[in-house]
Structures are given as structure tokens and as C-alpha cells.
Amino acid sequence: MKITVACIGRAGRAKHDAAQSLLEDYRARLPWPVTIREVEDRRQGGNAADRKAREGALLLAAVPKGAVIVALDEKGRSLSSRQFAETLAGWRDGGEQEVAFLIGGADGHDAAVLDRARLTLSLSAMTWPHLLARMLLLEQLYRAWSLQAGHPYHRD
């Protein structure tokens, strides 16, 4: 299964902080290829609805053709690690080859993104900085793989 993480961000951000290092560690552990696509809305100004619409269009344009879309959103569905692993396995076993996880900007996702998402997922009821949300997502992807593979990383 291929994984894409498309997120609103700033190109050229420093790549040496601890969260980025941890993100790369989990990315390297995963047997699934992971592509991170950081997109930036370079237009300044406008109200929240305008920003969300522009960011939504950028995120949807970053989704590979045919990928299952998962929108990360604080109002999304909360899954246990095991439920998350079972959801991914179900998609894989159903013939899906790629999943794209979308992380919106500070104002959240545009309705166009939420309408296209097969799953709207909450990592927590708390709001996390985007880089930490990426790291949490990759850790949960690794945990999902370990559950599917019977690897001892996840113990009940």
C-alpha cells in the first residue's frame, strides 16, 4: 500500500527539529512507501472561508489519482489503533492501493475536502501542531502495519 500525506505548510521550513527527526524515523520503519507533499497557499489575505477553499484545492490537487482520501480533522471519527489498522487492512484487501491523508491549515478543511474524504479521522480531541500531527499519523501507520504483520511493536 502506498501512503501520501498532503499537508498545508511552508516550503523551506527548518528540517532539523526533534519532531521532524521522529517523523523520518517512523517513515523509514514503514515498509509502505510514504510521500509527504507539503503545499503552500502563497496568496495572502482573505477570510477563513477563502483560505480554506484555496487550501482545499491545493490539497485535493496533491492527491494521487484513485487514492482513498482521509481528512484529518478534530471533529472526525476517533478510532483505536486496532480499528485504524483494521480499516487500512480492509481497504488493502478490497483492492485499494493508495491512501492519502490530508492535513488542513489552521482554519480546518474546506467542505470540498470533507465531501471527497472516505473517512474523516481525529487523532485526538486536542489540536496538535501540524508537524506533530504528521508524526502522530506516521507512528499510527507504523503501529497499524505492526498489528497487521504480527510484529511485537504493538502489545495488547
Centre a 10 Å sphere on the Cβ of residue 154 and count the other Cβ atoms it contains. 17
Domains of the chain, CATH where assigned = 2-149 (3.40.1280.10)
pTM score > 0.85 for this model? yes
The pLDDT profile of the chain, 156 residues, written as one tens digit per residue, is: 999 999 998 755 555 578 778 888 999 999 999 999 999 988 877 888 999 999 999 999 999 999 999 999 999 999 999 999 999 999 999 999 999 999 999 889 999 999 999 999 999 988 888 888 999 999 999 999 999 998 887 666
* Phi, psi for residue 70 in degrees, rounded to 5: -120, 120
Instruction: Supply the angle between the helices 130-149 and 18-29 in degrees, to the nearest 10.
Output: 20
CA–CA distance, 108 with 129 (Å, rounded to integer) = 12
∠ Cα 134 44 46 (to 5°): 100
